[in-house]
Chain A
Amino acid sequence: MTDIKIQLGRAEAIAKLDTAGAPVTTEWLLGQLPFSDQAIHSMENGREVYSILDAIDTPPPENQSIYQAVGDLFVYHKPAIFVDPEWPRHTRNYLVVGFIYERDSAIRGISGPLAANIVGTITDGLTELAHEAPRMRREGMGQLSIERL
């Protein structure tokens, strides 16, 4: 297991990467760190916060599930229409890294459930994230930062 620190606005959390279940995605994500960008609250999946990754290479399907759990850290291709108000001319989806901070949430595509690479689990600070995300949703979204510990 490899630990990473997640910072959402004022909240900090720790996640353990699933090096056994998602070795390629884990290695790939570590290669993107440190990372910091605009945090966005989901408009279609419930209690999900994510950021868009500006990566040239993308991880293959690995350790995927459509039944994401609270605290899951994941990487997937989000349909562009759920990021932009209109379909971008040359983009069908954006690669994103995100997490779910509360129950009754699920990653969805245009026509149904969407599988995500589950790359880790938030083990500490989830309660703080679950308070910070709704606050940011009311008052404005800040940065999502991820770094290796």
Chain B
Amino acid sequence: MQNKEPVADVADLSHRQLRQIRISFPASGAAATATLLEEDSPNTTTAIWDMLPLQLRATHDMWSGHLVRGHLEGNPYLSPENVLTHIPIPGDIFYYHRPANYYRGNPYGRSESAEIGIVYASDTRPQGPRGPEAVNLFAEIDSGLDQIAEACREILTDGQQELVIERVIES
């Protein structure tokens, strides 16, 4: 996609344990736990794990369906990995990056952005004004999806919400 250096090298999984993250919206109290897909996306899971805890502003997507996104400060670039090329399922959590001037439209199209996306219901596909987008699928929600889905849906009408992502089980 572009020439930036990825922030993580190939991860050493020899000591791997199941790692989970907690996703929550403090304003509503909604929370869920998700398991990192370390075998499928070792670099992405390692890089995201190292960023935790994260406090993001979650915004509802306007092109993809039932999906909220939170912008990662500093736009860390991660190489394509475990790329989701078709329809995600509710509970999928992904990383997405676009370089500056990737698509038309100011200000979003002109701005480089790295984001974490959460799919909270079906009939969803990560996409933008230039069509479907490849994203790194790195985690799946195990429990609490109903709470998260309700909180995500409220963002559509109530506006942005603080989204917290933090470690649950440390390896």
* Residues in A lying within 8 Å of B, measured CB to CB: 38, 40-48, 79, 81-82, 85-86, 102-105, 110, 136-141
Contacts and interface: CB of A to CB of B under 8 A. Distances in A.
A45 B61 CA distance: 10
Interface residues of B, number: 25
Nearest to B129: A104
B162 to A, nearest CB: 13
A87 B20 CA distance: 30
Contacts, number: 68
A97 B126 CA distance: 25
A44 B64 contact: yes
A41 B62 contact: yes
Contacts of A136: 159
Contact of B66 (A43, A47, A48): A43
A43 B105 contact: no
B61 A43 contact: yes
B160 A138 contact: yes
A141 B121 contact: no
Interface in B142-159: 149-150, 153, 156-159
Interface in B103-161: 103-105, 120-123, 129, 149-150, 153, 156-160
Contacts of A79: 123
A124 to B, nearest CB: 22
A95 B88 CA distance: 27
Contact of A82 (B65, B103, B149, B150): B65
Contacts of B122: 81, 86
Given A85-B66, A85-B121, A103-B105, A41 B129 contact: no
B59 interface: yes
Given A43-B67, A104-B129, A139-B159, 13 more contacts: A40-B156, A41-B60, A42-B62, A43-B66, A46-B62, A82-B65, A85-B150, A104-B103, A104-B104, A137-B60, A137-B159, A140-B157, A141-B158
B102 interface: no
A81 B123 contact: yes
Interface string B14-53: 0000000000000000000000000000000000000000
Contacts of B60: 41, 43, 137
A110 B65 CA distance: 10
Interface string B56-84: 00011111111100000000000000000
A137 B161 CA distance: 11
Q: Find the residue from A43, A47, A48, A105 having the highest chain B CB count within 10 A.
A: A43
A138 B71 CA distance: 13
Contacts of B105: 102-104
A4 to B, nearest CB: 24
A141 B103 CA distance: 26
20 contacts: A38-B157, A40-B156, A43-B65, A44-B65, A81-B65, A82-B65, A85-B121, A85-B150, A86-B121, A86-B122, A103-B104, A104-B103, A104-B105, A105-B129, A136-B159, A137-B59, A137-B159, A138-B59, A141-B156, A141-B158
